[in-house]
Amino acid sequence: MADVDHAFAPDGPLAQAIPAFAARPQQIDMAQRIAAALRDNRVLVAEAGTGTGKTFAYLVPALLGGGKVIISTGTKTLQDQLFNRDLPVVRAALKVPVSIALLKGRANYVCPYHLARNAADGRFQSAQDAADLRAIARFAQTTQSGDKAECTVVREDSAAWLAATSTRDNCLGQECPEVKDCFVMAARRAAMDADVVVVNHHLFFADVMLRDEGMGELLPACNAVIFDEAHQLPETASLFFGESVSTGQVLDLARDTRSETVAAAPDCRALIDATRTLEKAARDLRLAFGAESARLAAAQAESEPEFLPRVDALMASVEELHAVLETQAERSEGLANCLRRSEEMRQRLAQWRTPADSELIRWVEVFSQSLALNATPLHVSAVFRRQLEGHLRAWVFTSATLAVGQDFGHYCRELGLAWLEPEPLTAVWGSPFDYAEQALLYAPQGMPNPNAPDYSEAVARRALPLIRAARGRTFVLCTSLRAMRRIHELLVDGLNAAGETLPVLLQGEGSRSELLERFRRLGNAVLVASQSFWEGVDVPGDALSLVVIDKLPFAPPDDPVLAARVEHMQKSGQNPFMHYQLPRTVISMKQGAGRLIRSERDRGVLCICDPRMIDKPYGKVVWRSLPPMRRSRVEAEAVDFLAALPPPR
């Protein structure tokens, strides 16, 4: 503890090494609590408001503790920031001889085998894809890590990356002829040897699944695990503890099998024919539904007359491919791997069609170009709790949004922490920002019911005078894509009618990072977006002064996973609204509201249009969980607050 106190002292190593560093009382207290949890191998669930400095609060005790620590983040962006910026800064300031490593999922690393195979194949969708693959090949010759994040000349979403990386399905592992040059293997070796390893939640749960299947350990054994952005864990756990088969995976198997056949068994026409049949079955399954994206319960999907016959046709096509592969698999490692993948796909399809586990929620997700058959666990608490009880180590869960007020009950129940012995330690630190001075929470009067057909029009009407007063500099966060598109259209029309020339950006017009960069650069933009911009987005300074939220972000009641969990809780005699739906909504609201004030100098207005926050008894639970801003229901007060802000630079 003394070492932690010294690290944050006014004349301590952090202050000496980092210009303008100033520890906050909340940060020091949080660091002390984490140090105690690491020392005593306890579970700590800690909420720290925006501006607490929670990254340094867990890095200092992690680096001083002397054990092996895994730090897991919710996004690759934060993962890169931790490894490339924060960790080196703190390590240098503390002067500790700690080795660090960055480990991502295999799809983030160039695969020499697939790169060479697909470059030689020469079949590309466009000239740009071919140029991108050549650029990736040049990058592979010079890079030490093989991490695609370092190859800045190729867009992250370029189709060429699919041809230059591997997946869990098509990786040949130790049988790969390029295994000595494998960037994934090199990254894992570095992680095994390092004192501090930075991963992300998806990779952490991928490792949990491998351990449960007795297939070895992806992540090294450690003394402590620290989860940053821990509010994302329940969703990530549900994804990994479930099963999924997508038409995209089927098409990948067909494509890879055909590529391996051309290379190793060109005389086997039956195998080529089987891949064509499989591709047609996958595309036909997607065509069982209309063009609109949708999430459907299994029973709802099965009511479509074409659906089950096409699932059966897909299963028959996988069986046919599997049978031919059995006769050819000895001809190459690649064909043997395709045989293994076809066997796994047979099993997953059969389990989805006739499930043995009654506690799996079966549902179908329809995308614009593909379809996925999903089986999600009813709850992940028992599986996750087993990981915590299986090894004596410290576990730290931290985020700006975990509690409802001071209550962590919802979060601890979702992850099975509530039943641990000894029970988890919990703590909440409020933000050091002066919200009463820096921000105003505005709830417009006279809003219609959120289900009213003209609700989006009402949101746009209330937002326009605020946007004009703020001179742009606005996020409009919507709870559905339909509302997002409609509100964007109305705002563009309204600003044009008022003679305003503010740029109005729309989610989907570019990648998230591109849109954020444009928003920051323009300085007077309006960005209309949906769920992907509610969290993990940081725009400090003058570029963002107004956040408008159209509705409280309750999950749609017809969502198949939510509906099944609600039904289960009702049968168990629980109140699903108070114990599940409302807490999740509060945590999402805190994330959205957290976009507004990102530094001590920021000022702005948070406008929440949903009248339920005022009219419904549960609305108090929502606004009492938000930062302690001044509150108003008078439009003129919000307009005056924004008009008084310094103009955009």
Statement: residue 284 has pLDDT above 70 = yes
Statement: residue 55 has pLDDT above 50 = yes
Q: In the prediction, which pLDDT does 216 show?
A: 42
CA 252, CA 473: separation in Å to the nearest integer?
Answer: 43
Structure tokens at 381: 């608490």
Please enumerate in sequence order all residues whose Cβ is within 8 A of that of 355, keeping only pairs 6 or more positions apart, or say none: 362, 375
Highest mean pLDDT of the ranges 27-31, 153-157, 420-424 = 27-31
CA 626, CA 314: separation in Å to the nearest integer?
Answer: 49
Of 208-217, 305-314, 315-324, 407-416, the range with the lowest mean pLDDT is: 208-217
Pairing of strands 546-549, 474-477: parallel
Structure tokens at 626: 């938000």
Statement: residue 211 has pLDDT above 60 = no
Q: In the prediction, which pLDDT does 405 show?
A: 87
Of 42-51, 205-214, 589-598, the range with the lowest mean pLDDT is: 205-214
Statement: residue 648 has pLDDT above 80 = no
CA 394, CA 34: separation in Å to the nearest integer?
Answer: 9
Q: Encode pLDDT of 464-478 as tens digits.
A: 999 999 999 999 999
Please enumerate in sequence order all residues whose Cβ is within 8 A of that of 536, keeping only pairs 6 or more positions apart, or say none: 74, 75, 77, 78, 229
Q: In the prediction, which pLDDT does 124 show?
A: 74
Statement: residue 107 has pLDDT above 50 = yes
Q: In the prediction, which pLDDT does 63 show?
A: 97
Statement: residue 212 has pLDDT above 90 = no
CA neighbor of 207 nearest in space, from 230, 188, 235, 186: 188
Q: Encode pLDDT of 438-495 as tens digits.
A: 999 999 999 999 999 999 999 999 999 999 999 999 999 999 999 999 999 999 999 9
Which of the two residues, 208 and 89, has the higher pLDDT score?
Answer: 89
CA neighbor of 428 nearest in space, from 411, 415, 453: 411
What mean pLDDT, rounded, does the chain reach? 92
Q: How confident is the model at residue 213 (pLDDT cuts 50, 70, 90)?
A: very low
Q: Encode pLDDT of 568-613 as tens digits.
A: 999 999 999 999 999 999 999 999 899 999 888 999 999 999 999 9
Find residue 45's DSSP bridge partners.
397, 426
Statement: residue 185 has pLDDT above 70 = yes
Give Cα 234 to chain centroid, integer Å: 11
Q: In the prediction, which pLDDT does 219 show?
A: 60
Of 126-130, 232-236, 361-365, 371-375, the range with the lowest mean pLDDT is: 126-130
pTM, entire model: 0.89
Per-residue pLDDT, averaged over 63-83, amounts to 91
Q: In the prediction, which pLDDT does 218 show?
A: 54
Return the beta strands (E) in 217-283 as ranges: 224-227, 243-246
Structure tokens at 596: 């507004």
Q: Encode pLDDT of 369-420 as tens digits.
A: 999 999 999 988 988 888 788 778 899 999 999 999 899 999 999 999 999 9
Q: In the prediction, which pLDDT does 23 show?
A: 87
CA 542, CA 645: separation in Å to the nearest integer?
Answer: 9
Q: In the prediction, which pLDDT does 513 show?
A: 81
Q: What percent of the chain has pLDDT over 70?
A: 97
Per-residue pLDDT, averaged over 149-163, amounts to 88
Q: In the prediction, which pLDDT does 537 show?
A: 81
Q: How confident is the model at residue 217 (pLDDT cuts 50, 70, 90)?
A: low
Q: Encode pLDDT of 262-275 as tens digits.
A: 999 999 999 999 99
Per-residue pLDDT, averaged over 190-216, amounts to 76
Three-state DSSP class for residue 365: strand
Domains of the chain and CATH, by start = 2-99+194-239+380-429 (3.40.50.300), 108-182 (no CATH), 243-377 (1.10.275), 435-643 (3.40.50.300)
Statement: residue 313 has pLDDT above 80 = yes
Q: How confident is the model at residue 207 (pLDDT cuts 50, 70, 90)?
A: confident
DSSP label at 165?
B
**DSSP-assigned states of every residue in 428-441:** EE--SS-HHHHEEE
